[in-house]
């Protein structure tokens, strides 16, 4: 008789996490069904074959694992009732084949649930309406993967541009989510790779180049000096933006997560939420001035510096992400009003602080240092933050040739 267990496989991903797999063993030979979930080894209870409670999403992950075990056991019991001997590999193949009845929107729902299981609530929130609009375009409840052709997808692209008036960047986002789900279907044996409508000879997804324009040094100075005492929300939003800028364009999600305990010996120590990389920066005098404005609200060192997350359920990653998303929207609304008071000819948003720092840094610091500050793996990403400086070089070169 075959046995089923849950294990961590040893091949790590880029985040140093190990894949969770269902192991099927028969006649001392094993085969594995990968769940698509990854965790750090320290969070795995080998004896109990489950995720430890110390993991922030342990309940969701363990429920997901139990569901996979139940599916495998059901299929195994069915196969064991047949007298013909079955190998571990065949058992795995038979279990995978159960998924072949899944159509696009059924697998799409599984995909969204996996995102939430992995704590990627913002991504799930963004992807769900894209899948919904694809369903509305089709005017049907479901569609088989082999019916999702290049012609159909080009019709969908035209529908998005002409009927819904979305940008090329947004069209690309729709194609990316459909491609992701299609790749999952191929991986799980739901559809043959020959029906793949993307890549060479099909739909090629090209992300249009975007230019996020930061503020000039003069505009930053004006933002620092404007009197906003008549509007507390605008005053606070400006402070958050400047705090981000003073710490090399710190992401707003990281700014709102900063606690008083993160400051030690005149330095800020924090872990970037986007890539989990650790960064330590000296606290500039201008940042100290902003901290002084909020110190009166501090009741303990574990308090957040800014108020947005003080009422969040810190045991719920979903609640934290939701409050950050809602707070960012509110901050941007008030920053927009500040921008109008300053008569800026460009949008004033939280993420522009990052591009502003990169732009103003220009020839003041080497590009490699900016890459280190931003913790970019690829320097090409960093270069995009210095485009205004690169444009200035091009302008100077043009003037040198033309003699203007």
Indicate whether 176 and 310 sit together in one domain.
Answer: no
Indicate whether 263 and 312 sit together in one domain.
Answer: yes
Does residue 209 form part of some domain? no
Q: Which residue has the tokens 């009422």?
A: 311
Indicate whether 180 and 224 sit together in one domain.
Answer: no
Q: Which residues of 307-344 are buried (b: 16+ CB within 10 A; e: fewer)?
A: ebbeebeeeebbebbbbbeebbeebbebbeebbeeeeb
Does residue 15 form part of some domain? yes
- Domain count along the chain: 3
Indicate whether 236 and 337 sit together in one domain.
Answer: yes
Indicate whether 183 and 225 sit together in one domain.
Answer: no
Does residue 328 form part of some domain? yes
Does residue 270 form part of some domain? yes
Indicate whether 70 and 187 sit together in one domain.
Answer: no
Instruction: Enter the DSSP assignment of 219.
Output: H
Between residues 64 and 86, which one has the greater pLDDT?
64
Burial of 7 (0-12, 13-18, 19+ CB in 10 A): middle
> Can you give the CATH number for the domain in which 230 is found?
1.10.443.10
Q: Retrieve residue 246's tokens.
A: 């003073």
Indicate whether 266 and 352 sit together in one domain.
Answer: yes
Indicate whether 259 and 384 sit together in one domain.
Answer: yes
In angstroms, the Cα distances linking 93 to 32, 177, 186, 236 are: 10, 27, 14, 58
Average pLDDT, the chain: 84
Between residues 230 and 29, which one has the greater pLDDT?
230
Does residue 210 form part of some domain? no
Q: Which residue has the tokens 């940008």?
A: 167
Residue range of the domain that includes 352: 217-402
Domain boundary among 165, 195, 225: 195
Main-chain dihedrals φ then ψ at residue 26, nearest 5 degrees: -145, 130
Does residue 58 form part of some domain? yes
Confidence at residue 98, expressed as pLDDT on a 0 to 100 scale: 46
Domain boundary among 78, 99, 120: 99
Pairwise CA distance, residues 318 & 312, whole Å: 10
Between 57-71, 86-100, 123-137, the lowest mean confidence (pLDDT) is in 86-100
> Can you give the CATH number for the domain in which 137 is found?
1.10.150
pLDDT per residue as tens digits for the range 339-351: 999 999 989 999 9
Confidence at residue 144, expressed as pLDDT on a 0 to 100 scale: 92
Strand, coil or helix: 101: helix
Indicate whether 89 and 238 sit together in one domain.
Answer: no
Neighbours of 286 (CB within 10 A): 12
Domain boundary among 39, 65, 99: 99
Pairwise CA distance, residues 49 & 40, whole Å: 14
Does residue 200 form part of some domain? no
Q: DSSP states of 51-81 as a string?
A: E-TTSTTHHHHHHHHHHHHHHHHHHHHHHHT
pLDDT per residue as tens digits for the range 111-122: 898 888 777 888
Q: Which residue has the tokens 């270069």?
A: 383
Indicate whether 112 and 251 sit together in one domain.
Answer: no
Dihedral angle over CA of 125, 129, 134, 138, nearest 10: 130
Indicate whether 284 and 374 sit together in one domain.
Answer: yes
pLDDT per residue as tens digits for the range 142-156: 899 999 999 999 999
Q: Taking residues 166-176, what's their average pLDDT?
A: 93
Between 50-54, 61-65, 75-79, 394-398, the lowest mean confidence (pLDDT) is in 394-398
Confidence at residue 389, expressed as pLDDT on a 0 to 100 scale: 45
Q: DSSP states of 114-166 as a string?
A: HHHHTT-HHHHHHHHHHHHHHHHHHTSS---GGG--HHHHHHHHHHHHHTS--
Q: Which residue has the tokens 């922030």?
A: 56
Indicate whether 226 and 362 sit together in one domain.
Answer: yes
Does residue 354 form part of some domain? yes
* Contact of 144 with 104, CB cutoff 8 Å: yes
């Amino acid at each position: 008789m075959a046995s089923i267990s849950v294990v961590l496989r040893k091949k790590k991903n880029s985040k140093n996490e190990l894949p969770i797999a269902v192991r099927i063993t028969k006649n001392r030979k094993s085969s594995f069904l990968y769940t698509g979930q990854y965790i750090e080894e320290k969070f795995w209870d080998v004896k109990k074959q489950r995720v430890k409670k110390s993991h922030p999403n342990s309940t969701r992950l363990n429920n997901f694992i139990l569901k996979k075990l139940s599916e495998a056991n059901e299929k195994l019991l069915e196969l064991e009732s047949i007298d013909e001997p079955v190998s571990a590999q065949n058992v795995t193949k038979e279990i995978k084949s159960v998924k072949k009845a899944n159509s696009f929107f059924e697998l799409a729902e599984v995909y969204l649930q996996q995102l939430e299981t992995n704590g990627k609530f913002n991504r799930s929130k963004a992807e769900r309406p894209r899948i919904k609009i694809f369903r509305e375009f089709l005017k049907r409840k479901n569609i088989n993967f082999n019916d999702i052709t290049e012609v159909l997808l080009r019709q969908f692209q035209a529908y998005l541009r002409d009927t819904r008036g979305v940008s090329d960047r947004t069209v690309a986002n729709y194609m990316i989510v459909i491609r992701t789900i299609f790749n999952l279907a191929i991986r799980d044996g739901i559809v043959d790779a020959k029906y793949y409508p993307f890549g060479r000879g099909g739909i090629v997804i090209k992300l249009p180049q975007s230019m996020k324009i930061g503020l000039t040094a003069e505009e930053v100075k004006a933002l620092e000096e404007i009197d906003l005492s008549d509007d507390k929300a605008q005053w606070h939003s400006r402070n958050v933006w400047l705090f981000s800028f003073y710490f090399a364009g710190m992401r707003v999600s990281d700014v709102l997560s900063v606690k008083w305990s993160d400051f030690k010996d005149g330095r800020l120590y924090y872990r970037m939420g986007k890539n989990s990389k650790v960064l330590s920066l000296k606290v500039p005098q201008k940042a100290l001035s902003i901290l002084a404005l909020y110190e009166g609200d501090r009741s303990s060192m574990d308090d957040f510096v800014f108020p947005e997350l003080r009422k969040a359920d810190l045991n719920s990653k979903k609640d934290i992400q939701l409050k950050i998303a809602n707070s960012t929207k509110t901050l941007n609304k008030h920053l927009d009003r500040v921008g109008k008071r300053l008569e800026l000819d460009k949008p004033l948003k939280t993420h522009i602080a990052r591009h502003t720092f990169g732009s103003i840094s220009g020839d003041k610091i080497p590009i490699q240092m900016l890459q280190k500050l931003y913790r970019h793996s690829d320097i090409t990403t960093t270069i995009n933050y210095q485009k205004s400086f690169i444009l200035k070089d091009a302008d100077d070169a043009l003037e040198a040739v033309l003699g203007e």
